[in-house]
Amino acid sequence: MTARNDPVLELLPMVFAAPGEALTRAQEVLGADPSPLHASVAHQVIGIWQRDFGDTRRALAHLRRARDLAARAESAEREADVLATLGVALVHAGRTRAGLAAFERGVARGSGHTRARVLYRRAYVWWVLGRHGAALEDVRRAIPVLRQADDVIWTARALTLRATVHLAQGSVERANADFTAAEALWDTTGQEHDKADAVESRGLAAFRAGDVPAALRLLDEAEERYAKLGTPTFMLTIRRCEVLMAAGLATEALAEADGAIAALDGIGGQSTRKAELLLVAARAARLADEPQTALARAAVAVRLFAGQRRTWYETHARLVLIEARVATGRGSGRLVADAAAVAERLAAFGAPAAPEASLLAGRIALDLGWTADAERHLAVAARSRHSGPPLARMTGWAAQALRARAAGSPRGVLEACRRGLGVLDDHRMTLGASELRARATAQGAELAALAQRASLVSGGPRRLLGWSERWRATVLSAPPTRPPADPVLLTAMTAFRELAARAEEARTDGGRPAPALEREQRRLEREIRSRTLHMRGEAPGDGDRFDVARLLRRLGDETRLVELAVLDGRVHVLLCGQGRVRRFEAGLLAEAEVEAEHVQAGLRRLAHPGAEARLPLVEAAGARLQHLLLGPAAAHLGSGPVVVVPPGRLHRVPWALLPALRERVLSVSPSASSWLRARDTAPPPGGRQVLVRGPGLASGGAEVPELSERYAGRRSPGGAGPGTPPPHGGPGRGTGTGPGGGRRGLADVPGGGAAARGATVVLEGDDARVPRVLRDLDGAALAHIAAHGTFRADSPLFSSLRMADGPLIVHDFERLDRSPYRIILPCCDTARFASVGADELLGLVTALLPLGTAGVVACTAPVNDAAVVPLMLALHKGLDAGLSLAEALRDARAALPGDAVHQATGWAFSAFGAA
């Protein structure tokens, strides 16, 4: 009897094509007094559904009933098939011995085609148990029989399984061949669940090949397919978490894994899946610097895997457990032995994680002073540096660098670090999203630190500067890939903006947004971010390497560049200028961070009248910060301009508050390389200025109308805008009033924002909407955006400026062909960043710098709106006189009244870049 002439047997393939419908029809069969054979099929279908999507205990009850009914029907083939399904459920329930016994009986009872299906499912169980050799043997026996029987569905399943086992063993090419063959077969069937599984499997293959954006895209596509079928996605969650961790998103991976564990517990789901989720949660917690959480998750995972007799997985969980113990400061000789034993077992399994375990054993031995043991383990780990995926090669180069350090060879350390960071460079440039590029640098933090220490010992200040630059603000080295013209992405961004505007309106009215609105806003954020992370990098690599001699030539004799490097917690000041680099030791980074927070709190208080008594306290804190951050270098700054290049963790320091910098032409840059690029950035032709006034400002953006009138009055026919080269085009025009209250230069020019060269465009009221603002900002010489700023520490690329129709977010700016040459942001918190990766910053200013912006004025703290107005007017006066942003900001501070509110406002603003 076959499925082709018995509708009840058709329910078995249906459970993977349309699970919900198969469940309903199976329940109907049981309600119609079926024969033992048909009842066996119905109970098996319900058991499969419960096993994969519901309660494992109920699954076992239905499958045992199906087995007994098959025996009553005296159908050996039916009984063999049910025993195989029961075996899978028992193993997933953690009852490995009973599950394997069921397979033994199933193989004995079945024959031919049925036995091949049983062998395939036993191969799947071997894979679950981590016994890859046995899995390949069973699937090797099954595939020819399934092909001979022209069983397309089961052949495709077997090929997919074999590909998955190949991936677990690191054989990416073999896996891709099998995945391709399986997908061609799935295209001939209606098995929607299996098709979704094939997409998920291709995502796993892309990840193993090092293509993180493709992996995220495919896994998201698979999730959409599963959602249409209404099926849970616990295995997909595990795989997605692995990809997120490789992309530097460990905190996000931990949250996803913990959420899946809670959902699985809620339905009484598979014990095997719970153990796997605990393992991935433990790894994510370790990478997220939460060692106690990692310890707790890994310990439970080890216990579950041991009970399930899953040695392969248990060994991986033990590796994470040891790593977590080391992270909590528990290094010991016992842990060296434990890590070495784990490395040996992983190597015997052929697991790609084996070098990681050897590296761990070597690190612990080095810390204990056991140099001979360390060399032995590190030599094993170093073998992976020439082959495999990027992160495995990084592990090998890290081991090689530690070997060279133990051998007293600074040259060997630097060479290993150079090669390892080169591998990571190549990997990073495959990523299109600036967030992924920034977070991926965390993988190179150890190598960068090793190289800095080695250069400090052997190479002098110049070499230390070179290595400080090698892994500082690398996300700015090339523009992020421009988001595609994706209609789904554009629709999501428009909907997000509308919902955010409604939420803000509710808060302004003294209430809070409806929960449903907030949920939808969060969903749209996830969709925008997800689609952005799918972008692949287009830049071939970073060929413009930092050159100390070039930097010194560009600085000349007057300008000083102060780069702060942090080694073992202490700030080292690299003072560049007058053709040389000098090094000074300053204070401890941790103390400087605490002092910077005190200063920020003081500036927040001074933004409100009545806090004048705190001004001397804030000034004293500035003097302490100078001692901690500049040390003796403060006495060697000369009298000319100063460029400060701080590490990411000091991005909130108001540098103009430091006594030695207070009266100077001062600019800040994420790196010396970034400053050089800004110096070399030419302004766009035409000199168009764009003045934007958003809603809800306490001052009403009072400087914007005055600036509009000033620019209109000072522009002669054919004349240039402030601080820009003479235009090549037509004359400027006065301002007029456009629809919706917007005021703009060339008021009646068709196209509105597409003003002629040299024009001043003013957008306010209903004209200050995001699409219009972006259109006019693109390629402008100067932009002044007076709007409320919001920094999102949880998701920095959703930091925003409030426009008439909602938030203008960082993702919007990344759609510009060229961001404005100069941007002035008189908005609270526009110079705040999230510090991620090795030494990267994510925020509004750092998003603009790679896109063509050479200079930004922004602030690091909340400011008094009214006090901002005279500062901005004075700043533009300096620009109109041909000064740079840094020069104009210095003069604008000096022109402010001497009261505490105005002084604090001036200190809160910084000039970034070199324009």
pLDDT over 90 for what percent of the chain?
45
Residues 782, 776 contacting (CB under 8 angstroms): no
Question: Of the candidates 635, 626, 794, 768, which has an alpha carbon nearest to the alpha carbon of residue 690?
Answer: 768
pLDDT for position 900: 92
Mean pLDDT of 854-862: 88
- What is the SS3 assignment for 594? helix
CA distance 366 to 372: 9
**Residue 718: its pLDDT value, please?**
38
Pairwise CA distance, residues 630 & 563, whole Å:
10
State mean pLDDT over 570-580: 95
Helix, strand, coil percentages in the chain from 3-state DSSP, rounded to 5 = 65, 10, 30
Cross-strand partners of 431: 536
pLDDT at position 593 is 92
The pLDDT score that the predictor gives to residue 332 is 84
pLDDT attached to residue 729: 30
Are 643 and 576 spatial neighbours (Cβ–Cβ below 8 Å)?
Answer: no
Query: Would you say residue 70 has pLDDT above 60?
Result: yes
If we measure between CA atoms, which residue out of 824, 821, 796 comes closest to residue 811? 796
Q: List all residues 6 or more positions away from 76 whose beta carbon is below 8 Å from its beta carbon.
A: 109, 110, 111
The dihedral sign for the CA sequence 751, 756, 758, 759 = negative
Would the pLDDT of 455 be above 60? yes
How much is the pLDDT for 794? 67
Q: What is the mean pLDDT of residues 499-526?
A: 69
- pLDDT score, position 1: 41
Q: 659-685 pLDDT, tens per residue?
A: 999 999 999 998 898 899 889 888 988
Element (H, E) at 574: strand 570-577
Q: What is the pLDDT of residue 512?
A: 65
The token pair that represents 834 in the structure block: 């999230």
The band of 196, judged by pLDDT with boundaries at 50, 70 and 90, is confident
Q: Is residue 372 scored above 90 in pLDDT? A: yes
The pLDDT value recorded for residue 213 is 81
pLDDT at 443: 66
pLDDT at 723: 43
Query: Which letter does DSSP use for residue 571 in this model?
Result: E
On the question of pLDDT at 300 being above 90, the answer is yes
Q: What per-residue confidence (pLDDT) applies to 734?
A: 29
666-668 and 689-693 strand pairing: unpaired
Q: Would you state the pLDDT for residue 730?
A: 30
Retrieve residue 273's tokens: 């899946």
DSSP string, 106-154: HHHH--HHHHHHHHHHHHHHHHHTT-HHHHHHHHHHHHHHHHHTT-HHH
Task: Write b or e for each residue in 349-366: b if 16 or more Cβ atoms lie within 10 A of its Cβ, otherwise e.
Answer: bebbbbbbbbbbbbbbbb
Highest mean pLDDT among 388-397, 559-568, 694-703: 559-568
Q: What is the mean pLDDT of residues 520-541?
A: 67
Listed in sequence order, the DSSP H helices in 609-667 are: 615-629
Residues with Cβ within 8 Å of 688's Cβ and at least 6 positions away in sequence, in order, are 721, 755, 757, 758, 759, 760, 761, 776, 779, 780, 781, 782
Give the number of residues written for the chain: 915
773 near 808, Cβ under 8 Å? Answer: yes
C-alpha to C-alpha distances, 700 to 608, 722, 823, 865, nearest whole angstrom? 17, 23, 19, 9
> Between 777 and 526, where is the model more confident?
777
Cα dist from 344 to 371, 377, 729, whole Å = 20, 10, 72
pTM > 0.85? no
* Average pLDDT for 325-348: 90
Residue 738: what pLDDT?
32
Residue 896 CB-density burial (10 A; 0-12 exposed, 13-18 middle, 19+ buried): middle
Instruction: Characterize 164-180 residue by residue with b for buried, 16 or more Cβ atoms within 10 angstroms of its Cβ, and e for exposed.
Output: bbbbbbbbbeebbebbe
The closest of 561, 574, 325 to 464, measured between CA atoms, is 574
Q: Which two tokens stand for residue 406?
A: 């133990």
* pLDDT of res. 806: 86
User: At residue 441, does pLDDT exceed 90?
Assistant: no
pLDDT band at 710, cuts 50/70/90? confident
- Residue 647, classed as helix, strand or coil, is coil
- Return the pLDDT at 431: 62
Q: Which of 7-16, 116-125, 149-158 shows the lowest mean pLDDT across its residues? A: 7-16
Tens digits of residue pLDDT in 558-569: 999 999 999 889
Give tens-digit pLDDT for 141-164: 999 999 999 999 999 999 999 998
Q: What is the pLDDT of residue 90?
A: 92
Return the closest-CA partner of residue 544 out of 674, 419, 390, 411: 674
Q: Write the pLDDT tens digit of every residue in 796-847.
A: 777 788 898 888 888 788 888 888 999 999 876 665 655 555 555 556 777 7
pLDDT-based confidence at residue 175 (cuts at 50, 70, 90): confident
| Range name among 170-184, 363-377, 472-486, 782-796 with the lowest pLDDT average | 472-486
Q: What is the mean pLDDT of the chain?
A: 83
DSSP assigned state of 801: E
| HSE value, Cβ hemisphere, 13 Å, CA-based, for 20 | 7
Instruction: Indicate whether 437 pLDDT > 80.
Output: no
Overall average pLDDT of the 2-16 stretch: 75
Q: How far apart are CA 435 and CA 247, in angstroms?
A: 9
Cβ-in-10-Å burial (0-12, 13-18, 19+) of 817 comes to: exposed
Give 544's strand partners: none
**Burial of 328 by CB count in 10 Å (0-12 exposed, 13-18 middle, 19+ buried)?**
exposed
What is residue 192's predicted lDDT score, i.e. its pLDDT?
Answer: 84
Q: Which pLDDT band holds residue 271 (cuts at 50, 70, 90)?
A: confident
Candidates 785, 554, 777, 751; CA nearest to 684 is 777
CA 494 to chain centre: 23
The upper half-sphere exposure of residue 232, i.e. CA atoms within 13 Å in the direction of its Cβ, equals 23
In the sheet that holds 822-824, the strands lie side by side as 580-588, 570-577, 560-567, 642-645, 666-668, 909-913, 855-859, 822-824, 782-786, 689-693, 760-764
Give 26's strand partners. none
Top pLDDT among 252 and 433 is at 252
